[in-house]
C-alpha cells in the first residue's frame, strides 16, 4: 500500500520503465536505443498493465521500434533472434503516468529561453515517471513553443515527457458568438483540446454561451474540458456535452443524477486533489520539502521553494480565509472521488501542477503526481485503482489511444 500521511512525504511508485523508443526515466535500467534497429525483450517482470487487471507475474514484454509487440508469460512469448534481453527479476513495469490536467509553463527567470525552460520542465516530469502531460491552459508566450514541441515528438526517442496542449483557456465570453470566435482562435493554432472556464460560475455566463464553447469545439473535432468547482457546474458541463471534468466537485456530495449522466456520456473525471493541497499546505513547512525524492526536482523547484518556505508566506496562508476553506474542499473532493469511482465513472489523473506563477506556487511537476496517488488512496481507492487512473484511465479521459496500457500495438511508454 502507498503510505499516506499529512506530512506528505510521498511514497514513490517504483518504476522499471525500461521503455525503448519512449521516455527513459532516470531510474530506468535500459538506455534508449534506435527504434529502427533494436528489439528488446524484458523478461521475468511483474507487469501492472494499466487496464485495471491484477498484476501479471513472470512476464515477458517485447518492444520493437518503440511499440509493444507482445506481452505474456515466457511460455507464450517468443523472443526474436538478435533481441536485447533484459532480466527484470525483482522489478515492476507499469505504463508511464499521464497527467491529463497539468501545465508546462515558463518560470520567472528571463535568462532562460522559453523553449529551454519548457524542455527542462518536461524532463522533470519524465524523471518522476510522468511520460505525458496534457497542458490544460497556457499563457500566450508559451503557446507556440508548446505546439512546436508537440509537433516534434512524433517518431522521436524522447528524453522528456511528451506534451499535448489546449493553448489558452476560453473564458470571460459575453455572448455565444464571442465564445465561438475564441474557440476558433485556439483551434486555428492546432491545439489538442479546448479548455474553458465558467468564470466563476454558470450564473455569470449564459447556458447558450458556455454551451456554444462545447458545440464549437466539437464542430472543430476537438474535445472540451471545463474547469469546475461546484456540482452545478459539473452538471451543466455534462448536460452540454463536455468530454471530461477538469477538477473535482468540491462544494457538496455528487448525486446519482450526475453519476448516471457521466456514465451515459462517458465523461471522464480528473480529480486534481493536489491542487487543493497546494492552497494551504505551506502554512507551515511540509516535511516533503526536505525529502530526497522531492529534491530530485530542485533545479526547477528552487525559486518556489524559497518563497513558500518564508515565514511571511506561511503566515499569509494561515490568515487567509480562502486558503483555510480549501481544507474542507479537499475533504469533499476526496469523498466525491470515492463516490464517483464506486459509481463506475471513468477516473483520470491530474494535478493542475506546473504553474509557476505567484498565485499558484508549490504545485510541483513530477513530485506531486506521486502525492496525487497518495491522496487518491487516502480517498478510498486501492493502489491498483489509483495507478490505473494515472495510466489507462487517464489515456481514455484524454483520448490518447496509443498510450496508457502495456498491450500489443501500444507505444512503449
pLDDT in tens, the chain (413 residues): 233 333 444 444 434 343 333 343 434 344 444 444 589 999 999 999 999 999 999 999 999 989 999 999 999 999 999 999 999 999 999 999 999 999 999 988 889 999 999 999 999 999 999 999 999 999 898 999 999 999 999 878 899 999 999 999 998 888 999 999 999 999 999 999 999 998 755 667 788 998 999 999 999 999 999 999 999 999 999 999 999 999 999 999 999 999 999 999 999 999 999 999 999 999 999 999 999 999 999 999 999 999 999 999 999 999 999 999 999 999 999 999 999 999 999 999 999 999 887 678 999 999 999 999 999 999 999 999 999 999 999 999 999 999 999 999 999 99
Where residue 152 falls (left for φ over 0; alpha for ψ -120 to 50; beta otherwise) is alpha
Distance, in Å, from the CA atom of 10 to the CA atom of 393, rounded to the nearest integer, reads 22
Which pairing describes strands 193-197 and 162-165: parallel, antiparallel, or unpaired?
unpaired
User: What pLDDT score was predicted for residue 203?
Assistant: 63
Name the helix (H) or strand (E) containing 62. strand 56-64
User: What pLDDT score was predicted for residue 9?
Assistant: 44
Name the pTM for this structure. Answer: 0.91
All residues at 6 or more sequence positions from 290 whose CB lies less than 8 Å from its CB, including other chains: none
User: What pLDDT score was predicted for residue 204?
Assistant: 72
Where b means 16+ CB within 10 Å and e means fewer, 119-152 reads: bebbbbbbbbbbbbbbbbbbeeebbebbbebbee
> What is the grid cell recorded at 213?
464553447
CB atoms closer than 10 angstroms to residue 155: 10
User: What pLDDT score was predicted for residue 219?
Assistant: 98
∠ CA(286), CA(160), CA(370), 5° rounding? 30
| Whole-Å CA distances, 345 to 50, 95, 365, 403 | 16, 21, 26, 20
User: What pLDDT score was predicted for residue 102?
Assistant: 97
Amino acid at each position: 500500500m502507498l503510505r499516506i500521511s499529512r506530512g506528505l512525504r510521498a511514497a514513490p511508485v517504483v518504476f522499471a520503465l525500461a521503455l525503448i523508443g519512449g521516455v527513459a526515466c532516470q531510474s530506468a535500467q535500459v538506455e534508449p536505443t534506435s527504434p529502427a534497429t533494436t528489439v528488446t525483450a524484458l523478461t521475468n517482470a511483474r507487469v501492472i498493465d494499466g487496464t485495471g487487471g491484477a498484476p501479471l507475474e513472470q512476464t515477458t514484454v517485447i518492444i520493437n521500434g518503440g511499440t509493444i509487440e507482445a506481452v505474456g508469460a515466457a511460455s507464450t512469448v517468443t523472443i526474436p533472434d538478435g533481441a536485447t534481453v533484459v532480466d527484470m527479476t525483482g522489478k515492476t513495469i507499469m505504463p508511464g503516468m499521464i497527467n491529463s490536467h497539468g501545465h508546462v509553463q515558463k518560470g520567472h527567470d528571463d535568462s532562460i529561453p522559453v523553449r529551454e525552460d519548457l524542455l527542462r520542465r518536461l524532463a522533470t516530469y519524465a524523471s518522476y515517471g510522468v511520460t505525458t502531460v496534457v497542458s490544460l491552459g497556457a499563457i500566450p508566450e508559451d503557446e507556440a513553443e508548446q505546439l512546436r514541441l508537440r509537433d516534434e515528438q512524433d517518431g522521436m526517442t524522447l528524453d522528456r515527457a511528451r506534451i499535448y496542449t489546449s493553448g489558452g483557456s476560453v473564458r470571460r465570453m459575453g455572448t455565444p458568438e464571442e465564445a465561438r470566435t475564441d474557440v476558433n482562435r485556439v483551434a486555428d493554432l492546432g491545439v489538442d483540446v479546448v479548455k474553458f472556464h465558467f468564470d466563476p460560475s454558470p450564473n455569470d455566463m449564459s447556458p447558450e454561451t458556455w454551451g456554444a464553447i462545447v458545440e464549437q469545439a466539437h464542430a472543430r473535432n476537438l474535445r472540451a474540458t471545463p474547469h469546475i468547482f461546484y456540482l452545478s457546474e459539473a452538471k451543466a458541463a455534462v448536460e452540454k456535452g463536455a468530454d471530461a471534468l477538469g477538477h473535482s466537485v468540491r462544494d457538496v456530495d455528487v448525486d446519482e443524477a450526475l453519476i448516471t449522466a457521466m456514465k451515459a456520456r462517458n465523461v471522464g473525471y480528473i480529480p486534481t486533489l493536489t491542487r487543493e493541497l497546494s492552497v494551504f499546505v505551506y502554512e507551515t513547512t511540509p516535511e516533503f520539502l526536505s525529502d530526497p525524492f522531492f529534491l530530485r526536482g530542485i533545479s526547477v523547484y528552487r525559486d518556489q521553494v524559497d518563497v513558500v518556505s518564508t515565514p511571511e508566506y506561511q503566515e499569509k496562508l494561515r490568515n487567509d480565509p480562502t486558503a483555510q476553506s480549501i481544507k474542507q474542499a479537499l475533504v469533499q473532493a476526496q469523498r466525491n472521488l470515492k463516490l464517483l469511482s464506486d459509481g463506475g465513472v471513468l477516473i483520470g489523473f491530474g494535478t493542475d501542477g506546473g504553474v509557476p506563477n505567484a498565485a499558484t506556487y508549490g504545485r510541483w511537476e513530477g513530485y506531486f503526481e506521486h502525492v496525487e496517488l497518495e491522496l487518491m488512496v487516502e480517498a478510498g481507492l486501492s493502489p491498483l485503482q489509483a495507478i490505473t487512473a494515472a495510466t489507462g484511465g487517464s489515456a481514455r479521459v484524454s483520448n490518447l489511444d496509443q498510450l496508457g496500457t502495456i498491450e500489443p500495438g501500444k507505444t512503449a511508454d
